[in-house]
Amino acid sequence: MAKLKILSFALMAPVDRKEEVTDYLQRKGVVELSEPQETDRMKTTDLSDRFAGFDEALSAVNGALAVLQKHCPRKQPLTAMLEPRKELTAAQWRENGGELDSVLEKCRALIADDKQIGDLRAGVVRRNVTMDALLPWQDCDIPVTSGFTKHTARLLGSFRSRKSREEILTLLAQELPERDCVEVEVLSESDLETCLAVFCLKDDVEEIENALRAEGFIRAPECADETPREKVAALQQQNAADEAKISALETTLSQQTDFYEKAEFALDYLTAEKEKTAAFERIPQSTRVFYIKGYIAKRDAQRVADYCEAHFDAAVEITEPAEDEDVPVLLSNGFFSAPLENITGMYSMPAKGDIDPTGVMAFFYYFFFGMMLSDAGYGLIISGVCGGLLLFKKNLEQKWKNTLKMYLFCGLSTVFWGAMYGSWFGDAPAVICREFLHKDFNPLPPLWTDAVKDTMNVLIMCFILGLAHLFWGVLMKGWTDIKNGHKLDAVFDTIPTFLTVIGIAPVFFGLFVQDSIPDDYSPLGTVLYNTFMSVHNSLKGVSTYILIAGVALVILTAGRSSKSIGGKIGGGLYGVYNLFSGYLGDVLSYARLLALGMATGVIGQVMNMLGTMPKNPVIKAVAFVLVFCAGHAANLAINIIGAYVHTNRLQYVEFFSKFYEGGGRAFVPFAADTKYYRFKEEL
């Protein structure tokens, strides 16, 4: 467990080397830049006008990648997300960056082609709608807009219902009794639509159309000087031409698979350049020099300083940060605990006076995760998959290595606890022997006990492990106090707590202890039970004296910060109350170790039972395989989430609250936040 030593980093170099220096620092990704400190002669530069160009270019590249994914998607295996980013040297990075303009031009062309396809398809849809509207009029042998003479006019339209010629004439006679020069011809008739032509005098056409509209009359689509049949034919011909254009464009786009790499590099290059420009804005400069200030880990400081001084004519100063500086935190842990740094980071980074809690929680984290998932079969799957990927997948990104390592250790812990409980895909070994081999035999009995049947003794074990977890947190509080020079606080905050909790423990555990050991206990279970009872009985005789001593010390020391006698006594009594109520709630929280473990086991057993319900041996075998695979996959997926969430909770709420303040700021180096490519490590 360790927080890396962070030092202040200051660099001054000629202004014409500014881009080279920032390129180097970005590639290395080990320096965090501080906020700029301007002076009369050293000013930052406003480069906001460049960001609009970066945003437009990034939008074009992202749009092109979306077009490629739409028209020529790449088939990738499930493990593709584990593949590392491609490595490029600084020279290769600059060389590929020289093609950026042509790549952006191609990206915009791809977007334009995709937009054209969309526009063409929209046109096809619009023409199809028009053709559908013209279908009822295809037998009309003159254009819809024709039919006018010097004194007469013709209206073509339809009603959205069945109407006869007589009904329409009656309607017009009622609405316009003085307009008797009207003739109606029904062109087609159905329950859904009636198409008709109305002939009348030109002077009457507006009134007649208004009367018909009041009843739902709709004008026929206009066809200019064409008949409806000719209009439909022209629309079909135009659709065919557009479909051919669409097909040609889609064929061209589907053949652009090779452009993926160039577009992905352009995305990373533009992202890095945008970040570098943002850094440029934060670096003050004069007409001759520029100045960078920030933080760097001690392990990297000398190497970076030597390189900058040798290659950029720079002056570098590495110093200890001032006491009042907001120094960032960078964690560094070993193989076993490093995978849990992200768990610590999700809670809060350690503050200046804190220790890194990652290492001290690692054992309990893996231990509790396995106890909650608690099925050896599931543990074998998890550890097998993660171990195999770690073994055979080379050059994994560090974040994936840590994730796989974390679940590898969690899987191994799950195997341990599953074997202790005798849970191998629920009770699958016993079920297979009973239902298919017709032998009442369990080839993989519990090494300790069956958690589903022996809940009380398992619950006691959960409470004991919980107390050990809490006591470890109290010890870490004492160690933190000693490290920060508060030795008396370390004594007064740990020893009274230990004495009080140990003194009350026999009374608490006496509520759950069984009178006799179960008959089917394993040899290991018998040893554990006898050991616990021996310790329990030994403590019962002296627990009262230990409790009195602990409570007395709490009363005497808990209110020590108060200046008055009354305040000290009141603070002490409140400390006693807080200790009893707090630890009671904390210890009971560890019952979730049993609850989640039982949930996994019971659901697994139910799945095995459902699979063996058919009576026919063949059907039973098939049903068992299907239910076994689907049911246990679902059980694993659900309970691995529960184990993860509740293991985190035990660390955050019960464990960290005993010693960990948090509130530190994570070290965020100036680096290229790329997605597809990364800089190759160069000496």
Check residue 2 and give left, alpha or beta (phi > 0: left; psi -120 to 50: alpha). beta
Give the count of beta carbons closer than 10 Å to the beta carbon of residue 641.
10
Mean pLDDT for the stretch of residues 182-202: 84
Cα torsion through 309, 315, 320, 322, rounded to 10: -150
Secondary structure string (H, E, C) spanning 466-491: HHHHHHHHHHHHHHHHHHCCCHHHHH
Residue 616 DSSP class: S
Least confident of 77-86, 314-323, 472-481: 77-86
Give me the sign of the Cα torsion angle 135, 137, 142, 145.
negative
Angle (nearest 5°) at CA 149 between 147 and 152: 85
Mean pLDDT for the stretch of residues 528-542: 73
Chain centre to alpha carbon of residue 229:
57
CB 672 within 8 A of CB 679: yes
Whether residue 538 is predicted with pLDDT greater than 90 in this model: the reply is no
DSSP count for the chain of H helices, then E strands: 20, 10
- Per-residue pLDDT band for 514 (boundaries 50, 70, 90) equals low
pLDDT at residue 647, rounded to an integer: 96
- Only one residue has tokens 């208004």, namely 210
**pLDDT (tens digit, 9 = 90+) per residue, 651-682?**
999 999 888 988 899 999 999 889 998 888 76
pLDDT at residue 424, rounded to an integer: 95
Residue ranges in 284-375 assigned as alpha helix (H): 298-311, 341-347, 358-373
CB 320 within 8 A of CB 8: yes
Measure the CA–CA gap between 329 and 28, rounded to whole angstroms. 18
CB 518 within 8 A of CB 449: yes
pLDDT at residue 142, rounded to an integer: 61
Measure the CA–CA gap between 30 and 32, rounded to whole angstroms. 7
What is Dmax (Cα atoms) for the chain? 124
- Only one residue has tokens 């965090």, namely 32
Measure the CA–CA gap between 539 and 97, rounded to whole angstroms. 74
Q: Please compute, for residue 628, the number of CA atoms within 13 A of its CA located in the half-sphere on the CB side.
A: 19
Measure the CA–CA gap between 103 and 105, rounded to whole angstroms. 5
pLDDT at residue 146, rounded to an integer: 56
Mean pLDDT for the stretch of residues 275-296: 90
Whether residue 13 is predicted with pLDDT greater than 90 in this model: the reply is yes
User: Partners of 353 in the beta sheet?
Assistant: none
Angle 487-510/565-589 helices, nearest 10 degrees?
50
Secondary structure string (H, E, C) spanning 203-248: HHHHHHHHHHHCCCCEECCCCCCCCHHHHHHHHHHHHHHHHHHHHH
- More confident: 23 or 228: 23
Nearest to 38 by CA among 286, 397, 364, 336: 286
**pLDDT (tens digit, 9 = 90+) per residue, 34-78?**
987 777 778 888 777 888 888 999 999 999 999 999 999 988 777
Burial readout 308-323 (b: 16 or more C-beta within 10 A, e: otherwise):
beeebebebeeeeeee
pLDDT at residue 561, rounded to an integer: 73
Measure the CA–CA gap between 542 and 389, rounded to whole angstroms. 53
Average pLDDT, the chain: 87
Secondary structure string (H, E, C) spanning 27-70: HHCCEEECCCCCCCCCECCCCHHHHHHHHHHHHHHHHHHHHHHH
Whether residue 423 is predicted with pLDDT greater than 80 in this model: the reply is yes
- Per-residue pLDDT band for 229 (boundaries 50, 70, 90) equals confident
Beta carbons within 8 Å of 231's beta carbon, 6+ residues apart:
130, 134, 221, 223, 224
Beta carbons within 8 Å of 186's beta carbon, 6+ residues apart:
163, 164, 165, 168, 194, 195, 196
Residue 655 DSSP class: I
Measure the CA–CA gap between 345 and 361, rounded to whole angstroms. 13
- First CA to last CA distance, the chain: 29
Measure the CA–CA gap between 472 and 1, rounded to whole angstroms. 15
Delineate the domains of the chain, giving CATH numbers in brackets: 145-220 (3.30.70.2750), 358-658 (no CATH)
